[in-house]
Amino acid sequence: MLTIGKVAARAQVSADSIRFYEREGLLSPAQKSESGYRLYTEEAVRRINFIKHAQQCGFSLSEIRELLELKGHDQSCCNDVYRVAVEKKLQLESKIKALKTMSQALNQLIEVCSHDAKPLDECPILAALESSIAGQNARSGAHQ
């Protein structure tokens, strides 16, 4: 059996992260020692690696919980995981589109700036943001 410190070292996370995963229902110790210390098996290390990789792919903790439940459910099949992955990709692509729109709005603001060293109260970027031109540009950019 492994203590929380050993699991943390093997999975390259902090002990606090492991306690956090436990609070979120993503991980639980295999047993507790007589003195009340958490004890884990190697499965915990694999599970933490799974959680880390899923987070890197943009999955939220609740989505990771769903994936872990699917993984541990005998009747689940690859299609169930595939569906979650397709939906996540749709959400990520949607976020990318929104970020591109925001980036374009910033381009317009940057173009407005004449590059002169002006006092801050004449800054065209701040002025545009204050007059909500940025918001209007972002909205019109979203419809283009």
- Chain residues in the site for other proteins (CB under 8 A): 79, 82-83, 86-87, 89-91, 93-94, 97
CB of 92 to other proteins, least distance (A): 9
Across 97-135, b (16+ Cβ under 10 Å) vs e yields eeeebeebbeeebeeeeeeeeeeeeeebeeebeeeebbe
**In whole angstroms, how close is the CB of 139 to other proteins at the nearest point?**
15
Supply the minimum distance, in Å, between the C-beta of residue 78 and other proteins: 9
* Strands annotated E in 59-137: none
Pair 55, 64: CB distance under 8 Å: yes
Nearer to other proteins, 86 or 127 (CB): 86
Which residue, 69 or 93, is less far from other proteins as judged by CB? Answer: 93
Q: Measure the CA–CA gap between 20 and 57, rounded to whole angstroms.
A: 19
Q: Between residues 53 and 95, which has the closer beta carbon with respect to other proteins?
A: 95
